[in-house]
A and B are shown apart, each in its own frame.
Chain A
Amino acid sequence: MRALYILAKDSLEEALSSRLILVSLVAAAVLLYLGEAVSALAAEEETRALLDLGLGLIELVTLGIAIFGGAVFFLREGETKRADLILSRPIGRARYLLGRFLGLALTAGVSLLLTSALHLALLLFKGWLFTPAYLYALLGIYLKVLIALSMTLGIALWSTSALAAMGFSALLWSLGHFLPEVGELLGRGGTSLVWLKPVLWIPPNLSFLNYRDVMSLAPGFPPVGAWFAYAGAYAGLWLLIAWDRLRLKEF
Chain B
Amino acid sequence: MPDPTALPLVFTSVGKVYERSHLGRATRQQALRLVSFEIRAGEIFGLLGLNGSGKTTTFKIALGLIQPSQGQVRLFGLPPVRAQARRKAGYLPEVPAFSQHLSCEQVLAFYGGLSGLGGRILEHRIASVLELCGLKLLRRRRVRELSKGYRQRLGLAQAILHDPELLILDEPASGLDPLAILEMRRAIEHLNGDLKTSILLSSHSISEIERLCDRVAILREGRLVKVLEKSAWKEAEGGLEDLFVDAVAAPLGTGESA
B99 contacts across to A, CB distance below 8 A: 10, 13-14, 17, 82
Q: Is A168 an interface residue (CB 8 A)?
A: no
Interface residues in A59-96 (C-beta closer than 8 Å to B) = 80-82, 84-92, 95
Beta-carbon contact of B101 and A84 below 8 Å: no
Using A2-B113, A2-B118, A80-B97 as known contacts, say yes or no to A250 and B67 having CB atoms under 8 A apart: yes
Using A2-B118, A14-B99 as known contacts, say yes or no to A87 and B64 having CB atoms under 8 A apart: yes
Q: Is B191 an interface residue (CB 8 A)?
A: no
| Min distance, Cβ B66 to any Cβ of chain A, angstroms | 5
B66 contacts across to A, CB distance below 8 A: 250-251
Q: Which secondary structure characterizes the binding site on chain A? A: helix
Q: Is B185 an interface residue (CB 8 A)?
A: no
Interface residues in B63-99 (C-beta closer than 8 Å to A) = 63-67, 83-87, 89-91, 93, 95-99
Q: Is A233 an interface residue (CB 8 A)?
A: no
A86 contacts across to B, CB distance below 8 A: 111, 114
- The interface on chain A, measured as residues whose beta carbon lies within 8 A of the other chain's beta carbons, has a size of 24
Which of A2, A81, A90, A250 is in CB contact (< 8 Å) with B93?
A81
Could you mark each residue 207-251 of chain A with 1 if its beta carbon is under 8 Å from any beta carbon of chain B, else 0? 000000000000000000000000000000000000000001011
Q: Is A6 an interface residue (CB 8 A)?
A: yes
Interface residues in B111-167 (C-beta closer than 8 Å to A) = 111, 113-116, 118, 158
Q: Is B40 an interface residue (CB 8 A)?
A: no
Q: Who on chain A is nearest to B102 by CB?
A: A13
Chain A interfacial positions (CB closer than 8 Å to B): 2-3, 6-7, 10, 13-14, 17, 80-82, 84-92, 95, 248, 250-251
Question: Can you report 6 residue pairs joining A to B where beta carbons are below 8 Å apart?
Answer: A82-B97, A84-B93, A85-B97, A90-B85, A90-B114, A250-B66
